[in-house]
Amino acid sequence: MIARTIASVLAVAAFGAVAAPANPADVLIDTPMAPPAWALLERQLLKTHTPACREFFQRYFDDRGFLLCVERWGGDDGPDDAIENCNDWPLLHALGGSDEVRAMYRKAWEGHLRQFTLAKTVEVPLARDGMYYKEFPTQMDWLHNGEGLNVFNNMGLSDGLDPAVIRRMTRYAGFYLNDDPGAPNYDPDKKLIRSMFNGSRGPLLRKATGLDWAGDPIEVANRFKLGHGERSYAEMVAHFKDYNDVIGDHPLNLLSTCLAVNSYALTGETRYRDWVLEYVGAWRERMAANNDLIPTNVGLDGKAGSNAGNKWYGGVYGWGFTVVDPVTNKPVHRNQHQAGVAGFMNAYMLTGDDRWLEPWRKQADHVNAQGKRIDGRMKYPRMFGDQGWYDWADEKYTHGSADIYLLSQKASDRARTPDTPWLRFLEGKNPGYPEDALRGDLEQIRRRVASMRTDTTTPDTRLADDPMKYNPASVDGLLQLTTGGLHPLRSGALLHARLRYWDPEHRRAGLPEDVAALVEKMDSEHTTVTLVNVSPTDARTVTVQGGAYGEHRFSLAAVGDRSAVLNGSSFTVHLEPGSGARLNLTMRRHVNPPTLLPPWKR
C-alpha cells in the first residue's frame, strides 16, 4: 500500500496521468526533462573511467594481478602502496562504474595478497617469513595499514555477498578482537591496542628501529626516486631513526574499527559492534581526562604517556613528534592524531548518538583557544611538546570538522567548518559547482593518462608507489554530487554518505546505465535529490538507499506540496525515457544497523 501510494502521489502531483507501475513497490517518473549538463557529465565521467583504468591496469599489473615493481617492506614503500594503485576503484564501481573495473581491482587485490606473502625481508625481522601473514600485514602502523586497506574496506559496498570478502573481513577484525591467539593485539582489561606496530603477528613490544621502518638495504642513486626525497639508503634509515616509541596505543589504531564495522555490516554479529563502542569509548574517556585532547601514547598500564617518557603528547606520530628531515636538515612536524576521528565517526554510525562527536568539537575548541597574535596576525597551533604549543598556522584547527558536520548537520558544527565549493553549492551559493567539479575530474583523468603514457620506468626501476600518481580513478565530484558524501581519503576509513544507489535489474551496486543523480540540499532530516534518465529511448530503474550502509530510514517522499509515507532504508524509482524529477526526501538518520546486504536481500 505504501509503495502504491508513493507512485500515485508522485504521478498525480508532478507527472500527469501515468500507467500503473508494473511492480507495486516502485515509484514511476515520466515527466520529460532535457538532460542537464551535470547529468551528461556524470554519465561521461563514469564511462571514461573504464578505458583509462584498463590501460593503467595493463601497464602496471601482470596476468596474476601482481604489481610490476620491486617489492619492498617499509614506511617509504611497501605492500600498502602496491594495492593503493587501485585506490577509489571500489568506490567507482559502487557509484556505477563498469563491472570491468570491479574485475580488475579484485584481481589486483588477490594478486597483491599472494605477491607480498611470497615477498620476504632479509634483515628486517618483522617480515622474514613474508610481508603478509594470513593475508594481512605482519606488524605495521595504521598510517600504512589503513592505506593498504583502503581498497578492501570499500569492496563490501559492491561485494557484500562475496564469501571471500566476508571471510577475510572477519579474520582481519579478529586480529583486534583477539580471535586469533597468535595476534594478541588488544588488551580487553585496559581497552587498548598494545602497540602502534600491530597486525597478524600481534603487537611489537619493543622500540622500533630505523631498519624496521625503512626495510632492507636497497640501491637508490640513478635507480629510484623516493617519495620523501632520500638520495641513499642511509638517508632512508635516517628518515626513520627517531621513530622509536611505538609501544602502547595511538589514535591511529582507531582505524582498526573500520574492520569491525564492516564485519558487523556483513554478518550482523553484535560482538563487532560492541567492540567498537568499547574501544572508542575508552578513547573518549581518555580525551575527557586529558583536558579534551586525545593522547598520542597510552602505555600498557593504561596511563597516558607512560610508554613515551610520561608525556601524553609523546610517541611516534604524536602531538610533539618533530624530527629532522635528513634530506633538508630541517625540522618537520609529523603529528598524526587526527586519524582517530574515523573511530568516533564509526561509533556514531552505529548509534546515532551525538556524544561520540562531542570530544572532537571540544578538542578543536581547546586548540583554537590557544590562538595568539604573532606579527600582527592571529595564529593557531598544530603541535604540543615540552615547550608547550608550537607550529603556528594562519588557519584555525579544523581536523575532522567537515566530517562531523556531515554527520550532525548542526549549525554550530558548520561554524567550525571552513567553506568549500561543495558546501557553498549545498547552501545555494555556488550553482555552477556540479559542472565545474565533474569537468575537473574528467580533466584529471586526461592528465593522468597522458602522464602515464610518458612514464619511462621499468619494473626493476619502479617502486610500488610510483604508479599511484597515474591512477585515473577520479571520484571526488561523483561522491559529493550523487551521494552527498565526503571522500574517505587514503586512510582506509569508511564512506559516510546521505544516499547510495543500486541497479535492481542487474543486481549490482551503483547508478544504472543512463541514470544520473544530484544531491542539491541536505539538512538533519531532509535531502533534495534530482534523478534523471538521460536515455531518450530506454526506461531505467534505480533503487535509492539511505546512507552508504542503509543506516538511514526514509519516512516521506514529496514533489511540490504533495507527499507520501515511506518506511524503509530504500525505495525503487522507475524512470521513463528522457524523464526526471526533483525528490524531497524526509528521513531519520543513523537509526538502522549498518548493512552491506543489497536491498533485495534484506
Is the pLDDT at 57 greater than 60, yes or no?
yes
398-430 pLDDT, tens per residue? 999 999 999 999 999 999 999 999 999 999 999
How is the chain split into domains, by residue range?
Answer: 2-31+498-601, 139-153+161-208+243-409
Percent of residues, the chain, with pLDDT higher than 70: 95
**What are the C-alpha distances in Å from 332 to residues 238, 239, 312, 320?**
13, 11, 20, 11
Q: What is the pLDDT of residue 152?
A: 98
Instruction: Please check the confidence at residue 190 and state whether its pLDDT lies above 50.
Output: yes
d(CA 4, CA 7) in angstroms, rounded, equals: 5
Judged against a pLDDT cut of 80, whether residue 376 lies above it is answered with yes
- Could you give the CA distance from residue 350 to residue 477 in angstroms, rounded to a whole number? 26
Q: Is the pLDDT of residue 24 over 80?
A: no
At a CB cut-off of 8 Å and minimum separation 6, what does 163 contact?
Answer: none
Q: 147 vs 50, 81, 413, CA distance in Å?
A: 23, 7, 28
Cβ-Cβ contacts under 8 Å for 597 (sequence gap 6 or more)? 160, 161, 550
User: What fold is seen in the domain 2-31+498-601?
Assistant: Immunoglobulin-like (2.60.40)
CA–CA gap between residue 154 and residue 340 (Å, rounded): 19
- Give the pLDDT confidence score for residue 566 in this predicted structure: 87
* 278: nearest Cα among 339, 346, 364: 346
CB 326 within 8 A of CB 317: no
Over residues 276-294, mean pLDDT: 98
pLDDT band at 558 (very low <50, low <70, confident <90, very high): confident
CA–CA distance, 437 with 10 (Å, rounded to integer): 31
| Cα separation, 487 vs 546, whole angstroms | 17
SS3 220: coil
CA 442 to chain centre: 21
Cell numbers representing residue 350 in the block = 552505529
- For the cut 60, the answer to whether the pLDDT of residue 231 exceeds it is yes
Unique residue bearing C-alpha cell 573511467: 49
The pairing of beta strand 26-29 with beta strand 570-575:
parallel
Torsion of CA 425, 426, 429, 432, to 10 degrees: 30
- Compute the Cα dihedral for 45, 49, 50, 52 and give only its sign: positive
pLDDT tens for residues 73-107? 999 899 999 999 999 999 999 999 999 999 999 99
- Neighbouring-strand partners of residue 487: none
Confidence of residue 3 (pLDDT cuts 50, 70, 90): very low
pLDDT at 8: 40
Which among 339, 295, 298 has a CA at the least distance from the CA of 320?
A: 295
Cell output for 570: 530504500
Average pLDDT, integer, range 472-495: 94
| pLDDT score of 26 | 59
Rounded distance between C-alpha atoms, residue 585 and residue 486, angstroms: 20
Q: Are 298 and 249 in contact (CB under 8 A)?
A: yes
Query: How many helices (H) does the chain have, and how many strands (E)?
Result: 19, 19
Q: 10 Å Cβ neighbour count for 17?
A: 7
Note the pLDDT tens digit of each residue in 118-162.
999 999 999 999 999 999 999 999 999 999 999 999 999 999 999
Give the span between the Cα atoms of 156 and 160, in whole angstroms.
4
Q: How much is the average pLDDT of 536-544?
A: 97
Grid cell in block for residue 355: 556524544
Quick check: 593 pLDDT over 70? Answer: yes
pTM: 0.95
Report the pLDDT averaged over residues 177-201. 98
Q: How far apart are the first and last CA of the chain?
A: 19
Q: Can you read off the three cell numbers belonging to residue 365?
A: 575548541
- Residue appearing with cell numbers 628501529: 209
Residue 120 — φ and ψ, nearest 5°? -130, 150
What is the C-alpha to C-alpha distance for residues 348 and 350, in angstroms, rounded to an integer?
5
Which among 348, 363, 355 has a CA at the least distance from the CA of 251?
A: 363
3-class state of residue 47 by DSSP: helix
* Confidence label for 21 from pLDDT (cuts 50, 70 and 90): very low
* Interior/surface letters 513-535, b for 16+ CB within 10 angstroms, e for the rest: bbbbbbbbebeeeebbbbbbbbb
440-449, 482-491, 588-597 — which is least confidently predicted? Answer: 482-491
Dihedral sign, CA of 576, 577, 582, 583? positive
Q: What is the mean pLDDT of the chain?
A: 94
pLDDT tens digits for 310-336?
999 999 999 999 999 999 999 999 999
Side-by-side strand order, sheet with 540-546: 26-29, 570-575, 540-546, 499-503, 508-509
Q: Average pLDDT of 473-477?
A: 97
Residue 29 dihedral angles phi and psi, to the nearest 5°: -120, 120
Contact 203, 253 (CB under 8 A): no
Nearest Cα neighbor of 189 from 124, 282, 314 is: 282
**The residue type at 36:** P
Name the residue among 29, 17, 43, 162 with its Cα closest to residue 482: 43
Q: Which are the contacts of 274, defined by CB distance < 8 A and separation ≥ 6?
A: none
DSSP letters spanning 173-187: HHTTTT-STT---EE
Q: Region 359-381: what's the mean pLDDT?
A: 98
Locate cell 604573532: which residue? 374
- Averaged pLDDT, 177-187: 98
